[in-house]
Structure 1
Amino acid sequence: MSEQPGEVWEQFAIAVAEMARDLLAQNSAQGTLDRVVEHAKVLINGCDEAGILTVRQGKVNALAATSDVVRHADRIQQDLREGPCFDAVVDRQQVYAIEDMQQPNKQWPRLAPELRKLGMGSMMGFLLFTEDDNLGALNVYSHNPGNFDETARRAGWILASHAAVAFSAARTHQQLSHAMETRHEIGEAMGILMERYGLTEDTAFKVLKKTSQDRNIKLREVARQVCQTGEKPS
């Protein structure tokens, strides 16, 4: 006996809740992205492969992928500068799709034949965004044409929404952790300079800052060198 639509969406809701807990349990932004693409294969009917990309100044960057085939597909979009996922990031449209790679596509005429060579039959792209930030796009691929129905589209949009929030939170946490580590290292380096060379707090910081500017390296790296050597930068 087949499952009723209500039962299917109830199971999907449970799976999404489990995914949300899994994403929040990751200890890095990269770990969150890697789990998102794996969940896509489970939660979106017909999804054989998935990946996440960003577009910055016209350059596509693959952030996560379930296989090298997906990374190749991302590179093709960059080389051709066309495709649903490329447009999803640039134009802020929430959902794009190529339903059948075997049919001529007026919007992306060069992309479909190249993806078909990789064994792709259809694909969708979902924008990953929050109120304050455009994070990238989630790409899902099927080996078969016409394999994504309206249910798959809805599931993909829901997954992308959860993924964007989790990714944004993970990235913010990672940035804060990095900032705290940087502050600690700079403080430790200043303490060394003050103790060993009799510098004031203000002068110690100016020494680190000037060295950073003169050498064109990050302030944190200068501080790390002082901590490792105990020597005042020349």
Structure 2
Amino acid sequence: MKIACFLYPNFTSADLINPVTVWQFVPGVQFEFIAAEKGPVATDTGLAFVATHSYADASPDPDVVFVPGGAKPTIDALGDAALLDAIARLSRDAKWVASVCTGSLVLGAAGLLRGYRAACHWYPRQWLTKFGATPSDDRVVIDRNRATGGGVTAGMDFALRLVAEWGGESAGRLIELIVEYAPEPPFNTGRPELADEATLSAARQIMAAEFSEAAVDQAGQRLSMSTRTGAAVSA
């Protein structure tokens, strides 16, 4: 199984680390880490991932295309035509097209979610409609060959669900045990419907400073005027 992971400046490192931590146990798995150029790509934490391939030399036939998310850097990525074109091109024949967190906005901007249900981080989730997708508040959404996870920590759930799709539930159970995935959130405020009003209000203020709906609108308008949607063939 060949998994093409797209990197762009200052994406959320956990969105990539969590799925890769799970998928490394899939027999025969091969990762390609793809960016505009080979070499280090900075993340939101200051950690850098090394792109092993550029858009130009990435394998043309990955089994899985995966896009991580982030905050403002991901919104900025919606205007990166070279990134969106590369994602759309490699997704054309991929068996699975996938994302975590706001990575689904990137898939949407690449023309790959029109007519699909999709998950996203709770704050900008409704903006998926600007790309013809149907937002879902499920932690993991699988709609035909599109697999999307909610915000950040959902990457672990998402990755395990895909393992089960690829190799059966027993494979998912095994890896869940190997990585000791048994979350116990200390405050139980990890979703808007669980948080108290003061916590939710504070979180919304922080998110509002990071996410620009106007930039998402522009990406949606560019998509409607482009031919990129030719790559988005429903499975």
TM bin (shorter chain)? under 0.3
TM-score by length of structure 2 reads 0.23
Structure 1 length-normalised TM:
0.23
Report 1 or 2 for greater relative contact order, CA contacts < 8 Å, sequence distance ≥ 6: 2
Higher gyration radius (CA):
1
